[in-house]
């Protein structure tokens, strides 16, 4: 089983292409592979992509198993589930507390609950019209942000989600703020349904930097404002990894002052 052409391997009898990987799932005579444990394991079907195998008593069963690698290969099962979600799910932008952003395909409430770590609360993220808010990106349609409803009433100290909060900056009550992991999906006003998000993470980050600067203007704290501007410039011209930490710090300070 060392080559991707299974016909070269000892005991080869049959193979088909695994639609999940584009690589073979092959059937071998177990004894020829020194894998015959007993009479019930005369044949083996092998996922050549992941090295998983299943033993069967007959060739027919092994061929049958080779058609469903997601039933016995963990990695194929994951790939199959991911593919199903990719086809049926809604593309969401998951915004972490460290400012990280990644796409996930969510199918239902369970996925949202898992990602935010508790019961969900939906917040309306208004469409960004050019000039209508502090934004540097292209105008985008309305979105919905899901957060943990209990993120600020649990035992642990709630943590500000700087980037998610910046997205909400024009639409929350002045004293309100976003805590914990946030999951953002698009919103179709005609159907009321969640749809794929259309946010560009780089623009969202840049927007957070601009918002931080705007908030510190409100806070009228010169030192904090200066750092926000530096962070904003870094975000525009560098990769922004250090700038994000600065923005987080600046933003938290500014919010503490302006929303107190
Ligand atoms: Zn596999």
Q: Could you tell me where the beta strands, DSSP code E, fall in 107-198?
A: 120-125, 143-148, 182-188, 193-195
The answer on 93 and 195 residing in a single domain is yes
3-state helix, strand, coil in the chain (%, to 5): 40, 25, 40
Task: Assess contact for 52 and 46: CB atoms under 8 A.
Answer: yes
Q: Give the distance (Å) from ligand 1 centre to CA of residue 51.
A: 7
The answer on 227 and 100 residing in a single domain is yes
Q: Give the distance (Å) from ligand 1 centre to CA of residue 71.
A: 9
Q: Give the distance (Å) from ligand 1 centre to CA of residue 93.
A: 28
Q: Give the distance (Å) from ligand 1 centre to CA of residue 32.
A: 21
Give the count of domains, the chain.
2
Question: How many helices, marked H, and strands, marked E, lie in the chain?
Answer: 7, 10
Q: Give the distance (Å) from ligand 1 centre to CA of residue 29.
A: 19
The answer on 158 and 39 residing in a single domain is no
Q: Give the distance (Å) from ligand 1 centre to CA of residue 1.
A: 14
The answer on 143 and 243 residing in a single domain is yes
**Can you read off the two tokens belonging to residue 167?**
């997205």
Q: Give the distance (Å) from ligand 1 centre to CA of residue 76.
A: 4
Tell whether 191 is covered by a domain: yes
Tell whether 249 is covered by a domain: yes
What's the predicted TM-score (pTM) here? 0.61
Q: Give the distance (Å) from ligand 1 centre to CA of residue 219.
A: 56
Of 27, 51, 80, which one is at a domain's C-terminal end? 80
* CA distances (Å), origin 214, targets 124, 133, 142, 188, 246: 21, 10, 22, 29, 15
Q: Give the distance (Å) from ligand 1 centre to CA of residue 113.
A: 29
Of 27, 55, 80, which one is at a domain's C-terminal end? 80
The answer on 118 and 59 residing in a single domain is no
Q: Give the distance (Å) from ligand 1 centre to CA of residue 178.
A: 40
The answer on 54 and 103 residing in a single domain is no
The answer on 139 and 66 residing in a single domain is no
The answer on 71 and 195 residing in a single domain is no
**Can you read off the two tokens belonging to residue 196?**
């794929």
Residues of the chain below pLDDT 70: 1-3, 128-139, 154-155, 169-175, 209, 211-260
Q: Give the distance (Å) from ligand 1 centre to CA of residue 238.
A: 40
The answer on 98 and 46 residing in a single domain is no
The answer on 239 and 127 residing in a single domain is yes
Q: Give the distance (Å) from ligand 1 centre to CA of residue 115.
A: 26
- Domain extent, residue 122, equals 89-258
Tell whether 205 is covered by a domain: yes
Report the distance separating Cα 42 and Cα 28, nearest Å.
9
Q: Give the distance (Å) from ligand 1 centre to CA of residue 77.
A: 7
Residue 1: what pLDDT? 44
Tell whether 117 is covered by a domain: yes
The answer on 106 and 48 residing in a single domain is no
In the sheet where 12-17 sits, what is the strand order?
12-17, 24-29, 43-47, 53-56
Of 23, 50, 80, which one is at a domain's C-terminal end? 80
């Amino acid at each position: 089983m060392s080559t991707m052409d299974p016909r070269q391997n000892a005991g080869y009898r049959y193979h088909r292409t695994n639609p999940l990987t584009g690589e073979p799932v092959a059937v071998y005579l177990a004894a020829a592979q020194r894998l015959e444990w007993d009479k019930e394991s005369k044949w083996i079907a092998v996922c050549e992509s992941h090295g998983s195998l299943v033993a069967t008593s007959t060739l027919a069963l092994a061929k049958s198993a080779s058609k469903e690698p997601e039933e016995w290969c963990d990695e194929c099962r994951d790939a199959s589930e991911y593919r199903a979600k990719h086809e049926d799910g809604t593309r969401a932008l998951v915004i972490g507390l460290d400012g990280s952003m990644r796409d996930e395909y969510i199918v239902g409430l369970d996925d949202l609950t898992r990602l935010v770590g508790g019961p969900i609360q939906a917040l309306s993220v208004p469409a960004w019209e050019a000039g209508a808010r502090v934004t540097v990106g292209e105008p985008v349609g309305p979105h919905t942000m899901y957060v943990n409803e209990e993120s600020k009433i649990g035992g642990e100290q709630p943590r500000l989600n700087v980037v998610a909060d910046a997205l909400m900056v024009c639409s929350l009550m002045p004293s309100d703020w976003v805590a914990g992991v946030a999951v953002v999906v698009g919103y179709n006003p005609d159907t009321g349904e969640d749809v794929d998000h259309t946010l560009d993470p780089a623009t969202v980050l840049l927007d957070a930097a601009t918002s931080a600067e705007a908030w510190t203007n409100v806070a009228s704290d010169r030192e904090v404002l200066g750092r926000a501007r530096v962070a904003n410039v870094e975000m525009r011209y560098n990769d922004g990894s250090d700038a994000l930490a600065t923005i987080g710090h600046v933003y938290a300070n500014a919010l503490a002052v302006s929303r107190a």
